[in-house]
Amino acid sequence: MNRSFRRRLVLQLGGAVVGLGLLAAAAQFVLAWRELRESQDDMLRQVATLALRHPGHEMSTAARGSLDDHDSRIHLAMLPIDPTPAWLGSATTPGLRTLDTRMGRMRVFVQRQGPYTAVVAQDTNARDELAWNGAVRALLPSLVLVPLLIWLIGRGVRREFEPVVHAARRLEALDAVQAPELELRGMPTEIQPFVDAIEGLLGRTRELMRQQQRFVAHAAHELRSPLTALALQARNLRHAKSLDEARLRLVPLEQGIERARKLSEQLLDLARIESGDAPRADVDLVALGRELLAMHFPVAEQRGIDLGMEAADVPRVVSSSRLLRTILGNAIDNALKYTPVGGEVTLRIAALGDGARCEIIDSGPGVEPSARDEAFKPFHRLADQEVGGTGLGLAIAREAARRIGAQISLHDRDDLRTGLVVRIDLPGVRAINGSAP
């Protein structure tokens, strides 16, 4: 469920303001209450001291009733001249105390001097009211500030997120096919990492779309040429004047159909690799290598190429059997295609740390170091090679290697002979040394 950042910010800041206001009010109440109680106690002491200085006539006059100031509500009794107040009871020990009486809660001060005892009392209502009034005055600004703060936060957040809203609208309006550039500037610093990730994703999407467009254009061109040739060959076959002539014209037609079939299969392989899943399982590389060599042996035998395998140890890896078959199969097929008659192609498999290394070594013309990166691009063919092909073999192998986390690269032979080494490293996978089943 989506949550509103503005609502959460308003609730958090508003709650913080109210909480701080309540804390301030509580602190104001406690401080005011303590200050008022000290002031009240001082006043009661002063009244008692003044009463004990003249305990004669003035006190007898005061003793005729409670000295009750309605504003300050002070009660004074001079013992034994005045009768003991009913609310005082037996609490005649000198000092300050708070008593709960029928007239309410009262603060009482008792002081003795000679035969006289001054009892001065005042209820606590006035003191508590002043303390509460101070607390309310401290809380009111916070309560008034909350609505204003909510409005200011809402407006500020809305203004800060206007670039985000505009960017979202522009993203919605983007053409999914063209994926043009999107300027994402003026964003809040807090979401800049997310914005950078979006820009990176858009950049990768643009590059992917450009690659797809180039790939589709190349594929259309590569398919158009053999299909055009097939149409011409079929037309020539129709005009054959004899069965023997028809058989002769049928040979290039069959070869053209085979080239178109091969190209279609490779295009489908590349599409499946780019979009399909790659489930991993325990793979016996030696058994897989033997199977692939058996598949390619008729071609090698026909061209007199020595096709073999070297396996110093037998690594078993956890990877995608289907994609490994695609990588090795395309590399072997490429090696057989470029190796001259009477040459050799070797599949070498060995452990490499916790992974494995597979090398397809041929005795063909090789590839110049400056052209090796280009060799992995779809539909790329070496300019100085007369061997026909689709130019997709190494591109398919590289894409399959990328899907399983492998590295594929081209190297010269170690023995300084002419040829090429296609190296596939499978790092970070489990390699188990054992015997082949």
Exposure pattern of 115-133 as b/e (b: 16+ CB <10 Å)? ebbbbbbbbbeebbeebee
- Tell me: pLDDT of 417 over 50: yes
pLDDT above 70: percentage of residues in the chain:
79
- CB contact at 8 A, 207 and 223: no
- CB contact at 8 A, 392 and 378: yes
CATH 1.10.287 domain locations along the chain: 190-270
CATH 3.30.565.10 domain locations along the chain: 279-433
Residue 63 has a pLDDT of 41
Phi, psi for 35 (deg, rounded to 5) = -65, -40
First to last CA, the chain: 54
Closest CA to 305 of 422, 199, 419, 415: 419
Residue 185 has a pLDDT of 66
Task: Kindly state the average pLDDT of the residues 363-374.
Answer: 86
pLDDT-derived band at 435 (thresholds 50, 70, 90) equals very low
Residue 9 has a pLDDT of 74
Task: Kindly state the average pLDDT of the residues 13-24.
Answer: 78
Q: Which of 23-32, 221-230, 319-328 has the lowest mean pLDDT?
A: 221-230
Residue 85 has a pLDDT of 80
Topology adopted by domain 5-151: Beta-Lactamase (3.30.450)
Q: How many CA atoms lie within 13 A of 293 on its CB side?
A: 19
CATH 3.30.450 domain locations along the chain: 5-151
Question: What whole-number distance in Å separates Cα of residue 225 and Cα of residue 217?
Answer: 13
Q: Which of 99-113, 170-184, 248-262 has the lowest mean pLDDT?
A: 170-184
Q: Angle at CA 134, nearest 5°, toward 133 and 136?
A: 65
Highest mean pLDDT out of 193-207, 208-222, 269-283, 332-346:
332-346
Helical spans, DSSP H, in 99-124: none
Topology adopted by domain 190-270: Helix Hairpins (1.10.287)
Task: Kindly state the average pLDDT of the residues 235-259.
Answer: 77
Q: Tens digits of per-residue pLDDT, 63-83?
A: 434 444 445 567 888 888 878
- Tell me: pLDDT of 208 over 70: yes
Phi, psi for 342 (deg, rounded to 5) = 85, 5
Give the CATH number of domain 279-433: 3.30.565.10
Task: Kindly state the average pLDDT of the residues 405-409.
Answer: 90
pLDDT-derived band at 385 (thresholds 50, 70, 90) equals low
- Tell me: pLDDT of 153 over 60: yes
Q: Tens digits of per-residue pLDDT, 289-332?
A: 999 999 899 889 988 999 999 987 766 788 888 888 888 988 99
Q: Would you list the DSSP string of 182-206?
A: ----S--GGGHHHHHHHHHHHHHHH
- Tell me: pLDDT of 7 over 60: yes
In the block, tokens 């069965």 appear at: 243
Exposure pattern of 6-39 as b/e (b: 16+ CB <10 Å)? beeebeeebeebbeebeeebeebbeebbeebbee
Q: Which of 6-20, 58-72, 381-395, 420-434 has the lowest mean pLDDT?
A: 58-72
Residue 152 has a pLDDT of 81
Residue 113 has a pLDDT of 85
